[in-house]
Amino acid sequence: MGQRKNVKLENIAEALGVSIVTVSNALKGRKGVSAELRQKIIQAAGEMGYHTVRRDGQKKKESYLIGVIVAERYVKEFPSFYMEVYKYIAQEAMKRGSLTVLEVATPEKESLQQAFSAFQECRVSGVILIGELKRSYIEAVRTAYRTVPVVCVDYYDVYEDMDYIVTDGFGGMEQMTRLMLKEGITDLAFVGTVNSTKNITDRYLGYCKALDRAGIEDAKNQIIPDRDPEGEVYGLDQELPERIPKGFVCNCDRSALAIIEKLKERGLRVPEDVSVVGFDNYPPGTGRQLTTYRNDEKVLASLSIHTMIRRIEGRMKPEGVRIVEGSVVRGESVKFRRRQ
């Protein structure tokens, strides 16, 4: 579809063979439209050059179509933290009169076993990458979209022409480890495959930093992997060590919940016998509240869209890595000492 001037809702509806009400509901994020149809409508609107009209008499702002890419391995299980991040990114873009189109990179696409084709039928003004993707795939994105800005969310690299908006993996995990140490729990193990992703590496280094400050060395070497080295398979069937430490510092809540189940199989209670902390505060609604670190997905999304639009409009240059801090959640999985 080519660019059109003064594109209206009825133009989009006619092109897709749906009602104007359906188009309006899809673009405004209302219920009653399937995810597949909503994505088709958003994509068509972007291709046709549709933008929202303000009713306050002010000059309307330019509308942009922003491509968003996430690896399938991060979103194939529900609920997904990165899909939650994408939801907020899409909402934030709509607030600013722009639209997003999502590309889920399958293992075949990410490994470039298939020809790179993300957004080839769209005229995107910028690309957002959520989470860590294979280096070869990122290079393909940079080659295909060298003339538009690229913003990475919850991932950072060394490219100086890209922006990186990340969660505070290092500082957050240092706080979670210090929380355990403050409660007198010094016999610790880290749960996570350390070199599989930059996020897990950062969280492990935050764990080590807290141990350094406390003068503890042995716990640095107590590591339980939770996925394969490529970071693609979660929940490897790892056995707990014969001697169970008093506390587990887990790189994510999914792994923390898996550890708790394994401890139950060994007849151990959490937190009475063993304390466990997680990271991400996700997924929600999993029974007893974990003691964990809550990331602020809304701020992450808002800053990402703000950065993207300013880059598109040429009002700023890449600013490197910006960290979005979160907060500690004191749940029920740590044995807290009574305070007098």
Position 236 scores a pLDDT of: 55
Pairing of strands 327-329, 292-294: antiparallel
Position 59 scores a pLDDT of: 44
CB 153 within 8 A of CB 307: no
Side by side, the strands of the sheet bearing 99-105 are 99-105, 65-71, 126-130, 150-153, 163-167, 321-324
Position 13 scores a pLDDT of: 85
Position 24 scores a pLDDT of: 79
Position 31 scores a pLDDT of: 64
DSSP state of 212: H
CB 19 within 8 A of CB 33: no
pLDDT tens, N- to C-terminus, the chain (340 residues): 344 456 788 888 888 988 887 887 787 666 677 777 877 888 788 777 776 554 444 445 678 999 999 999 888 877 788 999 999 999 999 999 899 999 999 999 999 998 898 898 788 999 999 999 999 999 999 999 999 999 999 999 999 999 999 999 999 999 999 999 999 999 999 999 999 999 999 999 999 999 999 999 999 999 999 987 766 656 656 678 899 999 999 999 989 999 999 999 999 999 999 999 999 998 765 567 899 999 999 999 999 999 999 999 998 899 999 999 999 999 999 999 865 3
**Which residues touch 109 (CB under 8 Å, ≥6 apart)?**
116, 117, 118, 137
Position 120 scores a pLDDT of: 82
CB 167 within 8 A of CB 132: no
Q: Which residues share a beta bridge with 277?
A: 249, 291
Q: Which residues share a beta bridge with 103?
A: 69
The set of long-range contacts for 238-241, using a CB threshold of 8 Å and a minimum separation of 24, is 240/266, 241/189
CB atoms within 10 A of CB 222: 16
Position 33 scores a pLDDT of: 77
